[in-house]
Structure 1
Amino acid sequence: MEIILTAFDYNPAFSRNLGVVSPDEHQRLRNATVAIAGMGGVGGDYLISLVRAGVGHFHLAEFDEFELVNFNRQYGANMQTIGRRKLDVMIEYALQINPELQIEAFPGGIDTANIGAFLAGVDLAIDAVDAFAVDIHPLLVNAATERGLATIAAVPLGLGAGVLAFGPQGMSYADFFAITPDMSEDEKIVQFMLGFAPEMYHLKYLDPAFINLKARKGPSSIAGCKLCTGFITTQALLALLHPEELRCVPWYTYLDARLGRFRHRRLWMGNRHPLQRLKSYVAKRRLEKLGAAS
């Protein structure tokens, strides 16, 4: 079989995006820079989707390597990539789609020392850090907000997804999640998850036997990750092209595809809302019982 080599050309490669975005908007995407923190369960998929959407510049941060347990959901996980850096693998995949990409890599992940460089010159920040990394999320969101940038984030929740956007025009991270320094790591995780999914639909069918906050493990599904990718790609296009349409916290979006339940509304007072405080109290008591039984 004859193999025909085709030279890369941005315009025909991504021409089918036109109609969803205008030619002028497509050029803006080509010139835009998006910072994605995390290349694991959702971040790698975000990268590939935004490359296909036409974004031409990225700052990417990730310190981890691929393992066998990543196979059920992570874009770059396969037998050839076990033990390889997720960041290196995902950059390779992205360049196979658009070899003209401009990428700045942060192989140590993000921290207080490099967050300024990670966000320098970018147009949008995306939080794709592991949900259990409770101290990294505010580092990214607060630093981006201080620079006038929006930060978008999504968490896969069973067969669904919760989506939030942060920015100078919305509530602060601290006010929305109501996470305080005196909380335990487990309590911080509970507050974080409550903010993404106030109705907690996914708990109706998740088996609690597979949830272990102490070990930082929980059930995951490719379905939830793909839903996150669809939402984040859409939110990114809004943030980059139609920022006036981006609704920041206390607005939240929560979809459970299995139960057919969807919510897109304001969470008044964030996690300080009386019902959220009650849910947090119940969750804490459950954690205490689980800890006593273990």
Structure 2
Amino acid sequence: MQHVNADFDYFKAFARSIGWISNEELYALKSKHVALGGVGGTGGYYALTLARLGIEHFTLADFDSFELSNFNRQAGAFLDTLGKNKAETLAEMLSRINPNIKTRIFNLGVNEKNISAFLEGTNLYLNAMGFQSGDIQADIFDACRENNIPATSVVVPGFCASLINFHPQRISFNNYFKIKGLSREEQSIRLVAGHNPRLLMLRHYIVSDEPIRFKEYDGPVTPIPCITAAGLACTEVLRILLNRKNISWAPWSFQVDTYLKRFYKTWRPGGNSNPLQKFILYYLRKRLKLPRAPLFSSESP
């Protein structure tokens, strides 16, 4: 989707960022291309925030359509978008921020056949897929690694936003989370624990474990961590795209919990195969009365 408006004053629209970024960096962001996998709960906020940072090139992928159950948290969920595809809806919302934004839309989602096309020309991949998409997430991160594309992944358990950056030449997504070939329930457990090794929500303030249903890929969620995640993720995207110093890559992760008013930076070498992480996974399964874990398989870095 492309809207060209020669009368749109890019500098005037986005110059208020200058001071925290330079004039040259603003125009550098203008030329960057970000691919977003999922534009529902967190992904919609990512897209809108990045557009307001001045980025003009996006690839948006989401096969889902807006429904009433999305209203408590999703940026594109309105009465007049019910039943509409999420990627198409967000593309239209982006064009209302900047009519010169160029968007490629994958309204059937991403699969093993179109991953290369999805990542074509992108400078960074931002993962906002649900836990039910473990296999395709692993495949996308593999492709990012093969094509030297940095990637950022965030989840929002409780009132917490948990982020990990993946460098194409450091520990891989798959070697960190170790989810390939596992059941979707087990993939969900490992994605939650791997992103959020402190399990702040279970330890401090969850009211009931009952709504957490990994087998149905469902669980409680509020809008608060989705908005927090946008600030956290888009800050990291800005820093990576502008080659800022001291970026922390996996096995480092970040957790910002607005309920507890806490920030954590956690180091887990080996990811889910780390002894501490195995204990976290054991605790999570026991707490939620889930099956015992399969053995970890050996994988490449």
Give the TM interval when normalised to the shorter protein: over 0.9
Q: What residue is the counterpart of 2:45 in the other structure? A: 45
How far the C-alpha of 1:287 sits from its partner, in A, is: 4.9
Q: What residue is the counterpart of 1:239 in the other structure? A: 240
1:80, 1:46 → 2: CA distance? 21
2:122, 2:156 → 1: CA distance? 25
1:187, 1:231 → 2: CA distance? 27
When normalised by structure 2's length, the TM-score is 0.90
Q: What residue is the counterpart of 2:188 in the other structure? A: 189
Given that residues 129 and 136 in structure 1 are in contact (C-alpha distance below 8 angstroms), is that contact kept between their aligned partners in structure 2?
no
Q: What residue is the counterpart of 1:166 in the other structure? A: 166
State the one-letter code of the partner of 2:231.
G
Q: What residue is the counterpart of 2:297 in the other structure? A: none
Matched residue SS, 2:234: helix
2:257, 2:247 → 1: CA distance? 21
State the one-letter code of the partner of 2:20.
V
Which segment is superposed worse, 267-276 or 108-117?
267-276
1:174, 1:243 → 2: CA distance? 26
Tell me, yes or no, if structure 1 residue 146 matches structure 2 residue 161. Answer: no
What pairs up with 1:20-31 in 2 under 5 angstroms? 20-31=20-31
State the one-letter code of the partner of 1:202.
M
Compared with structure 1, are the counterparts of its residues 174 and 23 closer, same or farther at alpha carbon in structure 2 (3 Å cutoff)? same
When normalised by structure 1's length, the TM-score is 0.92
1:48, 1:64 → 2: CA distance? 18
Q: In angstroms, what is the RMSD of aligned CA positions?
A: 1.8
Given that residues 46 and 230 in structure 2 are in contact (C-alpha distance below 8 angstroms), is that contact kept between their aligned partners in structure 1?
yes
Q: What residue is the counterpart of 1:261 in the other structure? A: 262
How far the C-alpha of 1:248 sits from its partner, in A, is: 1.3
1:189, 1:243 → 2: CA distance? 32
1:265, 1:108 → 2: CA distance? 35
State the one-letter code of the partner of 1:177.
F
2:24, 2:274 → 1: CA distance? 42
Compared with structure 1, are the counterparts of its residues 118 and 290 closer, same or farther at alpha carbon in structure 2 (3 Å cutoff)? closer
2:61, 2:290 → 1: CA distance? 37
State the one-letter code of the partner of 2:241.
L
Compared with structure 1, are the counterparts of its residues 287 and 202 closer, same or farther at alpha carbon in structure 2 (3 Å cutoff)? closer
Structure 1: which 5+ residue stretches go unaligned? 1-6
1:245, 1:106 → 2: CA distance? 33
Matched residue SS, 1:263: strand
Q: What residue is the counterpart of 1:3 in the other structure? A: none
